[in-house]
Amino acid sequence: MSVPAQPQSLLGTTLDELARLVADMGETAFRAKQVVEWVFRRRVATIDEMTNLSHELRAKLAEKFTLRTMKVQSVTGAGDTTRKFLLRLHDGRFIETVLIPASPALYGDRADRRTLCVSSQVGCAYDCKFCASGLAGFTRNLSAGEIVEQVVQVEAHTGERVDNIVFMGMGEPLANLTNLAKAIEILNSHWGINIGARHMTVSTSGLAPQIRKLADFPLQIRLAISLHGASDEVREKIMPVNRKYPLAELFDALDYWTSNRKQRITLEYILIEGVNDMLEQAHLLAKHARRLDALVNLIPYNTVEGLPWKRPSETRQDAFKDVLVRAGIMTTLRREKGHDIAAACGQLRLKQETELGIIESPAKSGALTLSS
């Protein structure tokens, strides 16, 4: 079966690109400003709705562009809690994005803020052993327009403003750096989605060269590292990327980041029973965090059907956190929202694509076999 061609979305087009395009069509630069007003402020779903443009210009734009390339397949979770959106793409594949309300206990009168966890790829090639995103392998990168459209789709569906973006959904963002950077520009720009750069966080499994490139990026975005193991021995068991970029190389890149940036790094650490929740790992993690003046976010493992990992007891979680706190590390323990809606990255997508026969069940294909 042939795969439909990737449609070019106006949501993935910058103002400068539009200005050059309309100039080639014999129009003034002002027309480009009108187009982005319709796209990002008024959020029209079709080019035909841009009524202050001539029929001729709308027809020319419609030949090259579209405004929506995905549909909301399902939404899981209640309106006042974490909600997971399963989005169907133009080629029939699926991605997930998760809307997370702020906790009143943490944010008080700012608890109406909403964070969207955005995907950057269909699947993932990095095979982290605890994660559902890569169980069916890697399919493709998302375009800049598809990254931006996740925000547009969720805001349209909920009628709620997204205040923060975290690139912590499906895929490895830094393996799609070109499209990611363009999407961030559009998400940040005053003519675009208009979300502050400091309200966007890129999470990576540890691609050291790309971290260095991102450190030179002009916008003051934040960085989170999916660490999940404080020694090479432990990290390699669950994160194959560590074999290519071991901790010494990773932390060298992070030193470069901190020398160029004021924003503090966050070290993400999923606690898995009997794998990385030992107190000696907590002491090593404290040492790494102190070196970088980093924040630590502890996340009890979110169960994935078919994988053997378990979350530690709350007593064990608290003991791990206490080691970090006593070492003077600013630490949060996120007993996550969404455990009851399969909010771990990739779970709903995996279930949907398996049921539709798009992919073979990972259990049947052997994809659930774990390395020692």
Catalytic residues: 96, 345
Burial of 371 (0-12, 13-18, 19+ CB in 10 A): exposed
Burial 124-158 (b: 16+ CB within 10 A, else e): bebbbbbbbbbbbebbbbbbbbbbbbbbbbbbeee
Burial of 87 (0-12, 13-18, 19+ CB in 10 A): buried
CB count in 10 Å sphere of residue 109:
6
Task: Measure Cα distances from 294 to 14, 283, 369 in Å.
Answer: 34, 14, 34
The DSSP 8-state label assigned to residue 272 in this structure reads -
SS3 label, residue 211: helix
Query: Any idea what the Cα angle at residue 121 is, between residues 120 and 122, rounded to 5°?
Result: 140
